[in-house]
A = this chain, B = another copy of it.
Amino acid sequence: MDRSTSPASRRQFLRRAGLGTALAAVVGPAAAFPLSSTEPAMQHADQKKIGFAIVGLGKFATEQMMPAFKETRHARIVALVSGSPDKAARLAREYDVEARNIYTYQNFDTIRDNPEVDVVYVVLPPALHAEYTERAARAGKHVLSEKPMAPTVAECQRMIAACQQAGKKLMIAYRAQYEPFNLEAIARIRRGELGKLLQITADHGRIVDPVGDKADTWRVVRKMAGGGSLMDIGIYSLNAARYLTGEEPTEVTAQEMTDKSDPRFKEVEDRIHFTLRFPGGTLATCTSAYSIQQVKRFRAFGSQAWLDLDPATDYDRHRMTIGDKDGQHEPPLKEGNQFAAELDHMAECVLQNKTPKTPGEEGLRDIRLIQAIYEAARTGKAVKV
């Protein structure tokens, strides 16, 4: 039963889903009836799924995120937006997307007329996030945007405003915040299992290879990426420091090390190290790099124990180690599909009219901090934030 083919079942779905009048505006007057917020959100989770349009069919989208839809409970791919008709057609076949639901960047705005699309997932280079978020919101769609949210604070603010004005959800795809090992780390810290949280070290790096890997081409172009390793991968160190402490830092310092004779780093930074002081007394020391072999790890040090994730923010094969006065051990944890959990969260926020756990404001906070880190690196001075 596809709600796009049956207005009656669609209305029934909306009623069951507890959606408000905002979404009703999208599907037309027939659906514009009041819905009680106390109605159960989803009586049968498998009956209906929120439709996602994927904007940008790059390596990350096609290799990591799109396959995860197969493991979601509430999310499905209903539309594709691409500048490459062949690739779009191939993926449409693979994901059972109807040919009429393939869009180009030129006709993207007509997506407003497609009631199958509930959420637009923007998987473009950062410099395009604001534009496509605003266009999606104007088309009456909820938005899930990849991180970094956008290169500048002003763009982030425009994205938030656009979705607010349209009455639409805005979520930033901080996948690590939906990943089981990271959630377990946060839970253990909140329960006080490490004692007082005193120190965090977080290191994220990889080799950026714009010549050998087409997916990296835009990453070294400032006007597309907005910055270098910090925007792209160091943001995991930054975001982890924030979700592990559950606090906002008050001061940042930074040192940059970029070999400007390396053609990759003409426009964007390579290595940047930064520290974050948190009001509760935690100091986070973070690294970000585009020239070292892959590392994605953090360790949280408490007064009683430390907790290590290495890798912490990979796609899979996470490993947690706890160290305390009795030695070290690795709690048995089950790997889970972080992308599926993230997509289901977005779908549930739409279905249940909830604010996403990682809303636009979360993305904006990181961008403010990233700009402060750049300033600290440039000036050599601690920057209050």
Q: Which residues of B contact A253 (CB under 8 A)?
A: 253, 255, 380
Q: Which of A28-36, A137-145, A284-292 touches B?
A: A284-292
Q: Which residues of B contact A381 (CB under 8 A)?
A: 380-381
> What is the CA–CA distance of A255 and B134 in the complex, to the nearest angstrom?
41
Please tell me if the beta carbons of A287 and B201 are within 8 angstroms of each other in the complex: yes
Q: Which of A68-76, A116-124, A303-311 touches B?
A: A303-311
Q: Which residues of B contact A323 (CB under 8 A)?
A: 293-295
Please tell me if the beta carbons of A293 and B302 are within 8 angstroms of each other in the complex: yes
Smallest distance from the beta carbon of A320 to chain B beta carbons, Å?
Answer: 15
> Nearest CB to that of A380 among chain B residues?
B382
A155 proximal to B (CB < 8 A) = no
Smallest distance from the beta carbon of A86 to chain B beta carbons, Å?
Answer: 30
A271-300 vs B, Cβ < 8 Å mask (1 yes, 0 no): 101010100011101010101111100010
Smallest distance from the beta carbon of A282 to chain B beta carbons, Å?
Answer: 8
- Total A residues in contact with B, Cβ cutoff 8 Å: 38
A324 proximal to B (CB < 8 A) = yes
Contact of A257 among B207, B273, B283, B306 (CB under 8 A): B283
Please tell me if the beta carbons of A285 and B283 are within 8 angstroms of each other in the complex: no
Count chain B CB atoms within 10 A of each CB in A292, A299, A304 and give the residue with the most.
A292
Please tell me if the beta carbons of A293 and B277 are within 8 angstroms of each other in the complex: no
> Nearest CB to that of A275 among chain B residues?
B255
> What is the CA–CA distance of A381 and B205 in the complex, to the nearest angstrom?
26
Interface residues of A in 214-229 (CB under 8 A from B): none
> Nearest CB to that of A300 among chain B residues?
B292
Q: Which residues of B contact A324 (CB under 8 A)?
A: 293
> What is the CA–CA distance of A304 and B281 in the complex, to the nearest angstrom?
36
> What is the CA–CA distance of A381 and B259 in the complex, to the nearest angstrom?
23
Smallest distance from the beta carbon of A284 to chain B beta carbons, Å?
Answer: 9
A199 proximal to B (CB < 8 A) = yes
Please tell me if the beta carbons of B289 and A299 are within 8 angstroms of each other in the complex: no
A191 proximal to B (CB < 8 A) = no
A358-385 vs B, Cβ < 8 Å mask (1 yes, 0 no): 0000000000000000000000111000
Report 21 cross-chain contacts, Cβ distance below 8 Å, ordered by A residue: A199-B257, A199-B271, A199-B287, A201-B201, A201-B287, A207-B325, A253-B380, A255-B283, A255-B382, A257-B282, A259-B281, A271-B283, A273-B275, A291-B303, A292-B301, A292-B306, A293-B301, A295-B299, A295-B323, A380-B381, A381-B381
Closest 7 A/B residue pairs (Cβ): A292-B301, A257-B283, A273-B285, A293-B306, A380-B382, A293-B305, A255-B275
